[in-house]
């Protein structure tokens, strides 16, 4: 019986690959957009512009304090009531990017705040502009503490993307739900779903560890 189901499951592999592609597309676009948003917000927050600071803090608190499932519901089901209509793919990418951006911005501003103020004062004293200080002095140093948790955040983002199945996008998770209705061998089906996520996430986990180790080794050298 198990062998029969297994053969059936193999038959659905192309379907799984389509789902995997959807997961990769949504996560990939959100990862890039969320990073850009997160860096802009994080840098702005660290430069302590009075009013903007509180607006951004409110955005981050809201995104971190509510479930992603609720956020994507709001974007996909409530926004249309206010006249903002979009297809499921756009809604997924938008909500996932804005969600990830909040976490990325925390990582970025944390990394920037770890740079001693003396570095910024030295750069300012030699006549470097705000952007030059950021570009040549702060960011190159801040990237070292930023990179390991940033890549770790990408892993979380890929796993969180499974929530997009609730608004009807056929990602790996939804392919799993659909398949298990035909092949009632849940462990096998969702085992495959798990393996597919793991295959994307594991290289990133290794990358994050590699950044972390490189960081400690360099600190030892100093």
Write down the least CB distance from residue 107 to another protein, Å. Answer: 19
Give CA–CA dist 23/44, Å, rounded. Answer: 31
Nearer to another protein, 128 or 166 (CB): 128
Write down the least CB distance from residue 153 to another protein, Å. Answer: 23
Q: Does 61 interact with another protein (rule: CB under 8 A)?
A: no
Q: Does 47 interact with another protein (rule: CB under 8 A)?
A: no
Nearer to another protein, 1 or 222 (CB): 222
Write down the least CB distance from residue 128 to another protein, Å. Answer: 6
Q: Does 114 interact with another protein (rule: CB under 8 A)?
A: no
Secondary structure string (H, E, C) spanning 75-95: HHHHHHHHCCCCCHHHHHHHH
Nearer to another protein, 14 or 127 (CB): 127
Give CA–CA dist 180/189, Å, rounded. Answer: 6
Nearest to 179 by CA among 14, 1, 2: 14
Residues 163/72/90/191 CA torsion (nearest 10 deg): 0
- 120-149: which residues touch another protein (CB under 8 A)? 121-129, 132, 136-137, 140-141
**Are the C-beta atoms of 57 and 105 separated by less than 8 Å?**
no
Write down the least CB distance from residue 142 to another protein, Å. Answer: 10
Q: Does 50 interact with another protein (rule: CB under 8 A)?
A: no
Q: Does 116 interact with another protein (rule: CB under 8 A)?
A: yes
Nearer to another protein, 140 or 186 (CB): 140
CA atoms within 13 A on the CB side of 176: 21
Q: Does 90 interact with another protein (rule: CB under 8 A)?
A: no
Q: Does 44 interact with another protein (rule: CB under 8 A)?
A: no
**Secondary structure of residue 66 in the 3-state scheme:** coil
- 203-222: which residues touch another protein (CB under 8 A)? 221-222
Token pair belonging to 53: 């600071």
Number of separate helices (H) and strands (E) present in the chain: 10, 0
Q: Does 67 interact with another protein (rule: CB under 8 A)?
A: no
Q: Does 113 interact with another protein (rule: CB under 8 A)?
A: no
Residue tagged 């798990």 (tokens)? 194
Give CA–CA dist 218/222, Å, rounded. Answer: 6
Write out the residues near another protein by the rule CB under 8 A: 116, 118-119, 121-129, 132, 136-137, 140-141, 221-222
């Amino acid at each position: 019986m198990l062998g029969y189901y297994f053969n059936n499951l193999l038959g659905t592999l192309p379907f799984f690959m389509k789902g995997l592609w959807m997961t990769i597309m949504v996560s990939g676009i959100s990862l890039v957009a969320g990073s850009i948003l997160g860096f802009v917000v994080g840098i702005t927050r660290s430069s302590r512009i009075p009013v903007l600071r509180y607006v951004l803090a409110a955005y981050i608190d809201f995104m971190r304090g509510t479930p992603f499932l609720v956020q994507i519901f709001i974007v996909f089901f409530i926004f249309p009531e206010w006249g903002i209509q979009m297809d499921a793919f756009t809604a997924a990418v938008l909500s996932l990017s804005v969600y990830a951006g909040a976490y990325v911005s925390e990582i970025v501003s944390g990394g920037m705040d770890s740079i001693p103020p003396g570095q910024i004062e030295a750069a300012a004293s030699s006549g470097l502009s705000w952007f030059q200080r950021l570009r040549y002095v702060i960011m190159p140093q801040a990237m070292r503490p930023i990179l390991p948790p940033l890549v770790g955040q990408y892993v979380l983002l890929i796993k969180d993307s499974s929530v997009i199945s609730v608004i009807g996008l056929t990602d790996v998770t939804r392919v799993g739900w659909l398949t298990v209705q035909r092949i009632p061998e849940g462990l096998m089906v969702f085992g495959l779903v798990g393996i597919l996520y793991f295959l994307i996430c594991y290289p990133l986990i290794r990358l994050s560890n590699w950044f972390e180790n490189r960081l400690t080794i360099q600190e030892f050298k100093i």
